[in-house]
Amino acid sequence: MGPLQIKELLNTSPEKQTVTLKGWVRTKRESKNAIFIALNDGSTIHNIQAVAEPGQFSAELLQTVTTGSCLKITGQLVESLGSGQTVEVKIDDILVYGTADPDTYPLQPKRHSLEFLREIAHLRPRTNTFSAILRIRHALAFAVHQYFNDGGFFYLHTPVITASDAEGAGEMFRVTTLDLNKLPRTEEGNINFKEDFFGREANLTVSGQLEGELGAMALSKIYTFGPTFRAENSNTTRHLAEFWMIEPEMAFFELEDNMDLAEDFVKKVITYALTNCKDDLNFLQNRLAEEEKSKPQNERSLPLLEKLSFVVDNPFERLTYTEAIEILLKSKPHKEKKFQYPVGWGIDLSSEHERYLVEKHFKKPVILTNYPREIKSFYMKLDDDGKTVRAMDVLFPGIGEIIGGSQREENYEKLLGRVHEVGIDPQNLWWYLETRKFGTAPHSGFGLGFERLVQFVTGMGNIRDVIPFPRYPKSAEF
Amino acid sequence: MGPLQIKELLNTSPEKQTVTLKGWVRTKRESKNAIFIALNDGSTIHNIQAVAEPGQFSAELLQTVTTGSCLKITGQLVESLGSGQTVEVKIDDILVYGTADPDTYPLQPKRHSLEFLREIAHLRPRTNTFSAILRIRHALAFAVHQYFNDGGFFYLHTPVITASDAEGAGEMFRVTTLDLNKLPRTEEGNINFKEDFFGREANLTVSGQLEGELGAMALSKIYTFGPTFRAENSNTTRHLAEFWMIEPEMAFFELEDNMDLAEDFVKKVITYALTNCKDDLNFLQNRLAEEEKSKPQNERSLPLLEKLSFVVDNPFERLTYTEAIEILLKSKPHKEKKFQYPVGWGIDLSSEHERYLVEKHFKKPVILTNYPREIKSFYMKLDDDGKTVRAMDVLFPGIGEIIGGSQREENYEKLLGRVHEVGIDPQNLWWYLETRKFGTAPHSGFGLGFERLVQFVTGMGNIRDVIPFPRYPKSAEF
């Protein structure tokens, strides 16, 4: 649908056929014998080179052909004599759709900092780096849908606006249509949320899991893939206020099946990117190498493609939390008191501990299981010892936890007990509890933060650079 | 991944091989010679029949095998002698995962009203009707992603939380982390939104279009597919407060290309459902026929599959708004004063007018174009006459407008003029306006309300029944 794109034209055999190019000028170069215009339409990282003869076009026209201007070029597709491309276009005609004044257009052909580009997020998809990231992000999203569709999962659209708090914690965004200047009050002087749009307090969801479980207890295998929200006031390179989560939930899956699925899933999705995004990944690999040039050799990361292939080719190491603590207690950094945080059974592993396990000890992705119940969510299935739960975290080099999941507690009494323990009002979750009353079954699921995956695959250090329009404290521009 | 599902087992050749079934009991029937259990796992509309001999299991066990209970059955896959299925399972062993007390389980095998099922939305996916709808919804969503991926479009995740109002109208939900009981005030006594999470007022998006255009002006072809929100206090069968929208935006597409894409897109997606959801569509077709039994013959709708094939097989009628008004002015209902609302150039067509054109006059889907500028959005491209804009609405039988789109105004001065005219502060849209300053190009796009499409394909009358957990005034349960 629509005209042939540059990606297709670059793979078309040149037979002097007339072709039409539409895209944005990346660079224009004039030599004695020719004028070279590098045009890009976002379909690929590669530009197509269009060539005109000196004097073929008026100086007036050529003046408007500048970086960022948008052109329609008609010409002949011919073999390229220059290096770096197999075809080029001998220009017959140029139509300038839109100019880009070199004095004000911010994306001149020079190095821009990622910080600066974040301020012009409306234009940064026109850069090589961000177009590559967005194409890879698309490919990963498609691979997710394809993987689950092929596996007999149903995509379930769980609600964004919710009156429940899945995690029993976490700061949430309030959603309201009340006039803040004229808040309705009850007789007792409290805000009367009965007059709010939903007749009660409502928030943006932090997870679709609980509703996802409802779907799994009817359709067997479902997944969600939608936006989720955290109102944490944290300015880090790993957190967004609005991010996309993928949450499969499966009836009849126990912890072992859950781990198998998580490992297979993430490997297949990365493999899809390796197969379908070669050029973009190569570009980002070079970008990363360039960025790390100033670092000492031993602090540089693996080349991007090598890192991805490594994850795809090797089985993840699986061990229990208890075994992990034993390894940490015997570790050199622990003995030499190099860890910032203490190690001991019951602690919530910190990033330094996870990184030691993944990057130093096992040197590959790790799945940790059977965590102490106290540090995990109420809905996780209790182990027989009553001390641990059937949780699993998948830890990746560089980014730490990429997947968190568990077998869910399917026993009504045990689940209700945990709900009480953590201080949730069971009335708020009556519908969740009822799935354990009526036809309950063993079931499991996990969540993967999509942006963490895109970060891992693109090698980008800041999560704000892998989503088109990032939302974080004090920032909702665009 | 995971055990073979009932959908697969029903298509497996029976060779007395040992199989495992996991699912929920739909019905149990005991005769003199056998006990029949119909089991469903949500993978298909069809149940698998499992058969035991009388006396094979204790009365105690069989008492817990009731509608809604969850079982694991081991047995042999054999040819079925009964009608309606080719295979059945001769039971060796039954494990009851979870019971469903017949006195309290609400989904007993009898007819339930859609209204009642809405109140138990956590359980309704276990019914034939809702599992069929959710499977079709999944198939349509997958078809959307596949269509755009095949067509070289990139999936762009536009933000849900936004500080701008795409339509310059529409009631929006406020998003805030301010403590409503202690609202911070400025010196002037106004609410100080600088202290809110984003440092300004923020809302839930009503459309991803404006951000989508930014993507198209870099990547050429993008689409969004995400939740959008309207805080309209309307209790209709056509509106939700939270719904999913699909919005492709394409650089270098003019109105004609936009129409071609919209028609091809909706036909391909419906074709995918026709090919992949035969059994579910047949079930829903029968449901609909049953529902309409009491209606007089001439008020009944076309059989569902016939209606869908009709849309897929026939070219949509394309005409201008002006031509449509002429047809309406000449129409019988207009002459006989049967229309409730007056007809004349400049009116916003009402549902009765659209239905007349689609259902009576052309008897097929219609694309209306070139609407008066006054009744359309500021971002639509002005026609040369200055009176109309390059808008297009796709109208479907039964549901009316399913797609709304336009060529976008790419001229900076004209766009700015319209922004002023409709009273939007241009500073709020500086980033949108800049795409017309730097490398502007002709471009187009449209929006399709996903639930409207699901309604059309499933034949469901109420939009609340085609999304798992509907959000509408006074309702945010589950």
For A198, which of B68, B125, B474 is closest by C-beta distance?
B474
Q: Residue with structure tokens 């295998």?
A: A221
**Torsion, CA B98, CA B104, CA B108, CA B111, rounded to 10:** -150
Per-residue pLDDT for A220 more than 80?
A: yes
The class level of CATH for B6-98 reads mainly beta
Chain A residues within an 8 Å CB radius of B178: 180
B438 touches chain A (CB under 8 A): yes
CA distances from B74 to B5, B12, B81, B85, B198 (A): 13, 16, 19, 19, 56
Of the listed ranges A2-11, A360-369, B36-45, the least confidently predicted one is A2-11
Q: How confident is the model at residue B167 (pLDDT cuts 50, 70, 90)?
A: low
Quick: pLDDT tens for B221-232: 999 999 999 999
Burial of B70 (0-12, 13-18, 19+ CB in 10 A): buried
B252/A2 Cβ within 8 A: yes
Quick: pLDDT tens for B83-127: 778 999 999 999 999 999 999 999 998 899 999 999 999 999 999
Instruction: Please answer whether residues B207 and B166 qualify as being in contact, where contact means their C-beta atoms are separated by less than 8 angstroms.
Output: yes
Domain residue spans of chain B: 6-98, 128-170+206-465
CATH of domain A128-170+206-465: 3.30.930.10
Whole-number Å distance between alpha carbons of A28 and A45 = 17
Q: How confident is the model at residue A2 (pLDDT cuts 50, 70, 90)?
A: low
A-chain residue closest to B23, CA distance: A220
Query: What pLDDT is attached to residue B2?
Result: 63
Buried b (16+ CB within 10 A) or exposed e, A318-329: bbbbeebbebbe
Which has the higher per-residue pLDDT, A169 or B373? B373
Query: What pLDDT is attached to residue A170?
Result: 63
Buried b (16+ CB within 10 A) or exposed e, A194-213: eebbbeeebbbbbbbbbbbb
Quick: pLDDT tens for B300-312: 888 999 999 999 9
> Token pair for residue B268?
């391909």
CA distance A204 to chain B (A): 8
To which H or E segment does residue B305 belong? helix B304-313
A306 touches chain B (CB under 8 A): no
Q: How confident is the model at residue A81 (pLDDT cuts 50, 70, 90)?
A: confident
B363 touches chain A (CB under 8 A): no
Query: What pLDDT is attached to residue A298?
Result: 81
Whole-number Å distance between alpha carbons of A3 and A433 = 54
A22/B98 Cβ within 8 A: no
For range A205-214, the mean pLDDT: 96
Give the A window 153-212 contacts with B, CB below 8 Å: 154-164, 171, 173-178, 180-181, 183, 191, 197-200, 202, 204, 211
Average pLDDT over chain A, rounded to an integer: 95
> Token pair for residue A136?
């890879």
For range A294-300, the mean pLDDT: 86
B233 touches chain A (CB under 8 A): yes
For B211, which of A152, A440, A468 is closest by C-beta distance?
A468
Per-residue pLDDT for A288 more than 60?
A: yes
Of the listed ranges A75-84, A204-213, B250-259, the least confidently predicted one is A75-84
CA distance B323 to chain A (A): 27
Quick: pLDDT tens for B123-160: 999 999 999 999 999 999 999 999 999 999 999 999 99
Coil, strand or helix at A412: helix
> Token pair for residue A232?
């944490």
For B264, which of A1, A134, A260 is closest by C-beta distance?
A1
Per-residue pLDDT for B257 more than 80?
A: yes
B231/A197 Cβ within 8 A: yes
CA distances from B46 to B40, B129, B447 (A): 7, 12, 35
Chain B residues within an 8 Å CB radius of A154: 42, 134-135, 138
Give the A window 238-277 contacts with B, CB below 8 Å: 241-242, 244, 250-253, 257, 260-261, 264
Per-residue pLDDT for B166 more than 60?
A: no
B-chain residue closest to A119, CA distance: B431
CA atoms within 13 A on the CB side of A401: 18
Quick: pLDDT tens for A226-250: 999 999 998 899 999 999 999 999 9
Residues 6 or more apart in contact with residue B268 via CB below 8 angstroms: B143, B147
Per-residue pLDDT for B169 more than 60?
A: no
What does the DSSP assignment read for B185-204? B-TTSSB-GGGSTTSS-EEE
Say whether pTM exceeds 0.95: yes
Average pLDDT over chain B, rounded to an integer: 95
Residue percentage of chain A with pLDDT more than 90: 90
Chain B residues within an 8 Å CB radius of A178: 180
Give the A window 61-100 contacts with B, CB below 8 Å: 68-70, 72, 97-100
A162/B22 Cβ within 8 A: no
B204/A175 Cβ within 8 A: yes
For range A256-275, the mean pLDDT: 98
Query: Distance from CA of residue A36 to its chain's centroid?
Result: 37
DSSP annotation of B429 reads G
Quick: pLDDT tens for A47-58: 999 999 999 999
ipTM over 0.90: yes
Q: E-strand spans in A285-429?
A: 317-320, 366-372, 388-396, 400-408
Number of H helices, E strands in chain B: 14, 16
Chain B residues within an 8 Å CB radius of A202: 476
A149/B138 Cβ within 8 A: yes
For range B375-380, the mean pLDDT: 96
Residue percentage of chain B with pLDDT more than 70: 98
Give the A window 109-138 contacts with B, CB below 8 Å: 121-123, 125-126, 130-131, 134-135, 137-138
Quick: pLDDT tens for B267-285: 999 999 999 999 999 999 9
A397 touches chain B (CB under 8 A): no
> Token pair for residue A48?
């197509």
Quick: pLDDT tens for B27-71: 999 999 999 999 999 999 999 999 999 999 999 999 999 999 999
A437/B219 Cβ within 8 A: no
Quick: pLDDT tens for B409-466: 999 999 999 999 998 999 999 999 999 999 999 999 999 999 999 999 999 999 999 9
Mutation target to probe the A interface, by most A beta carbons within 10 A, among B154, B255, B436 is B154
Quick: pLDDT tens for A113-156: 999 999 999 999 999 999 999 999 999 999 999 999 999 999 99
CA distance A19 to chain B (A): 15
Chain A residues within an 8 Å CB radius of B162: 476
Quick: pLDDT tens for A336-359: 999 999 999 999 999 999 999 999
Residue percentage of chain A with pLDDT more than 70: 98
B5/A220 Cβ within 8 A: yes
Q: In what order do the strands lie in the sheet with B388-396?
A: B154-155, B221-229, B242-251, B443-449, B400-408, B388-396, B366-372, B317-320
Per-residue pLDDT for A166 more than 80?
A: no
